[in-house]
Structure 1
Amino acid sequence: MIIRVLGAGAGGGFPQWNCNCSNCRRFREKSLNARGRTQSSIAISADGKRWVLFNASPDIRSQLEAFPASHPREGVRDSGIHAIVLIDSQIDHTTGLLMLRESTRPLQIYCSEMVKQDLSTGFPVFRMLEHYCGVEHHAVPLDGGSFAIPGINGLKFSTHSLKSKAPPYSPHRHDPHDGDNIGVIVENTENGRKLYYAPGLGEIEPHVQAAMETADCLLVDGTFWREDEMHHAGICDKQAREMGHLPQSGPGGMLEILNASPDARKVLIHINNTNPILDEDSPERQILTQAGVEVAYDGLEIVL
């Protein structure tokens, strides 16, 4: 199983177009030892030819152009992307669907019923795409059940619901439902090795802990370093957990959770532009390195 990180940043990417936080400012001044990052998305394949796209960020066009394995091989119009799994209906994970409207066949989209509802009402991407390539929706289980994706041989997918909030545009923003956000286990059926992918984690529920304990690689939420990071950066007063993201530091933080999985490869993704771990010379980055935790970057490939 090949996992390609197309984008490792949180919403807005890094640097964010209108942000003058310390990280973004120093990156533009070329005084920060850091890589730029587009918005969060990955692709997974068993054979290196047929890929499943996880989330479609606003940066999807440039991400696919920088990823030769996704380029057309046969005929005038073609793509290595054969299906799309949506983790949630957030703007930074779904806007890229509009960039894929030139597809010569309906987009095969796997997501929860709640995500389908959001993308048919509050942000009606599915309805918009009916005037272009169209969408074929496939519901995913929310109880950890597994499913296969036709044409994607050698991989088994399992999904479960995570505690989260629907996007601000959603008709049920203040009425959470199962399926607003999901975690995914992808298993290589030839060798049994597993990836656990959850770019948005606000709470480690028992079924999440169980999934993490059985995974060979954890590709999980790295949005914020500290609970009050947005306030500390002078942006707003919202707390990390309030925004649906478990911070890395502090009691019960992501670093503490990851330390309980010593045998797994541990990689943080969906890194917010304010997070000090983007600075490869920062004390926070050194703490991660000493703990054996990696920070994802655009173009990273993981083989399981």
Structure 2
Amino acid sequence: MRLQVLGTAAGGGVPQWNCGCPGCRGARANPSWRRLHASLAIEAGSGQVFLVNATPDIGEQIETCAWLRPAGRSSALAGVILTDAELDHTLGLARLREADTLRVVATDTVRQAVNEILAMLEPYVTIEWLTFADIGAEAVPVSGKRPRYASARPPGAWVSALRWAGLLYAPAMGVWPDVTAGDAEVLFVDGTFYTDAEPLSFGQRTATQMGHLPIEATRGRLARLGTRCLYTHLNNTNPLVDPGSPLHEGLGVEVARDGMVIDL
């Protein structure tokens, strides 16, 4: 199995179109700071590639992944794995409507919610829903945070980490996943906000109230795991979007970069 990081940003990307914070200003002045929405390509077998989450950037992300270059009208895309039902992780499904059949892996809770917003695709593509077990993977619950459009729906497995072979991928994480360091060779972990108070600069809720454990609360524990850990899903306000920030020094955990490839 090998992985390509297709994006590492939280909702809105870096820069975000309506934001002039230091991170967005820096990304406009320095293209190397730019980050697409958090996503991952997993080559699970020869000619069989899964995308983890379908972001608004999915077309550009597919073009950056050599494993997904089509031959004629044939693609190696085997399906999309959804870790939650947020719009930032599902809107890209509409961009895949040219497929004859689109396989989507999700929990029942996520499937039922996303089915409603995918009704418009019925005339274009057949959606084949799979469970995590169908592909030999596991959904590990990490949060019960519902998307705003599903606020009236009951509690359930709204946000999961993907555990598959040597990978644990948890771009959004409200609680620690029920795994140990020995369960994975590489962990991608929620790095949305650096501090719990960071989102108060633009809203009224803290990071934990928004369903994201901040880096200040996770960095020590991750550094002690003894396995490779990388932060992903960085918000545009996170000071780590600046590669020159002194906060990178002594962090003890890698910050994932768009385009990086990891072999497991």
Whether the aligned pair in 1 keeps the contact of 2:231 and 2:255 (CA below 8 Å) is yes
Match for residue 265 of structure 1 among 223, 228, 237: 228
Q: CA deviation at 1:148?
A: 4.3
Of 111, 114, 120, which residue of structure 2 is paired with 1:128? 120
Give the TM-score, by structure 1 length.
Answer: 0.82
Following the alignment from structure 1 to structure 2, what is the Cα–Cα distance between the partners of residues 230 and 223?
A: 10
2:207 corresponds to which of 240, 244, 247? 240
Q: In 2 relative to 1, CA 46–61 (structure 1 residues): closer, same or farther, beyond 3 Å?
A: same
Structure whose residues are more often helix by fraction: 2
- After TM superposition, where is structure 1 displaced by more than 3 Å over at least 4 residues in a row? none
| Aligned partner of 1:180 among 139, 158, 181 | 158
Q: Distance in 2 between matches of 1:72 and 1:43?
A: 15
Q: CA deviation at 1:79?
A: 1.2
Residues 129 and 148 (structure 1), Cα distance of their counterparts in 2 relative to 1, 3 Å cut: same
Question: SS of the counterpart of 1:23?
Answer: helix
Q: Which residue number in structure 1 is paired with residue 143 of structure 2?
A: 163
Distance 2:260 2:236 in 1: 18
1:94 paired to 2:90: yes
**Is the CA contact (8 Å cut-off) linking 1:42 and 1:54 kept in structure 2?**
yes
Write the distance in 1 (CA, Å) between the matches of 2:66 and 2:43. Answer: 13
CA distance in 2, matches of 1:49, 1:83: 12
Secondary structure in structure 1 of the residue aligned to 2:123? coil
Query: Per-residue deviation at 1:225?
Result: 0.3
Structure 2 contact 81–106 (Cα < 8 Å) conserved: yes
- Per-residue CA deviations over 1:228-277 (Å, capped at 9, x if unaligned) read 1122xx3112100111110011xxx1102202302x11111111111111
**What is the letter of the counterpart of residue 61 of structure 1?**
G
Map 1:99-114 to 2 at 5 A. 99-103=95-99, 105-114=100-109
- Separation (CA, whole Å) in 1 of partners of 2:148 and 2:90: 14
8 Å contact from structure 1 (residues 84, 110) kept in 2: yes
Query: Unpaired segments of 5 or more residues in structure 1?
Result: 141-146, 150-155, 188-193
Matching of residue 29 in structure 1 with residue 18 in structure 2:
no
Structure 1 counterpart of 2:193, from 204, 212, 224: 224
- Paired residue for 2:42, among 30, 41, 44? 44
Gap regions ≥5 residues in structure 2: none
Indicate conservation of the 8 Å contact 2:80/2:105, yes or no: yes
The one of 249, 252, 256 equivalent to 1:286 is 249
Aligned length: 264
- Distance in 2 (CA, whole Å) between partners of 1:228 and 1:164 is 21
Larger Rg: 1
Q: Secondary structure at the match of 1:114?
A: helix
Distance 1:209 1:119 in 2: 25
Change (3 A) 1:148 1:115: closer
- 1:153 alignment partner in structure 2: none
Conserved? CA contact 1:108–1:136, under 8 Å: yes
1:138 lines up with 2:130 in the alignment: yes
* 1:34–1:279 contact (8 Å) kept in structure 2: no
Q: 1:256 aligns with which of 197, 215, 220?
A: 220
Pair 1:203-2:167 in alignment: no
What do residues 114-142 of structure 1 show as CA deviations (whole Å, max 9, x unaligned)?
11111123xx21x22211012011234xx
How far the C-alpha of 1:300 sits from its partner, in A, is: 0.9
CA distance in 2, matches of 1:171, 1:120: 15
Within a 5 Å distance, the mapping from 1:48-87 to structure 2 comes to 49-73=47-71, 76-87=72-83
CA deviations over 1:129-177 (Å, ceiling 9, x no partner): 211012011234xxxxxx243xxxxxx312222223110011536x431
Amino acid at match of 1:113: D
Query: Per-residue displacement from partner, 1:84-129 (whole Å, max 9, x unpaired)?
Result: 11001100000000000001x21111101111111123xx21x222
Say if 2:12 is the partner of 1:20. Answer: no
Q: What is the identity, as a one-letter code, of the residue corresponding to 1:133?
A: V
Q: Equivalents in 2 of 1:91, 1:255: separation in Å?
A: 28
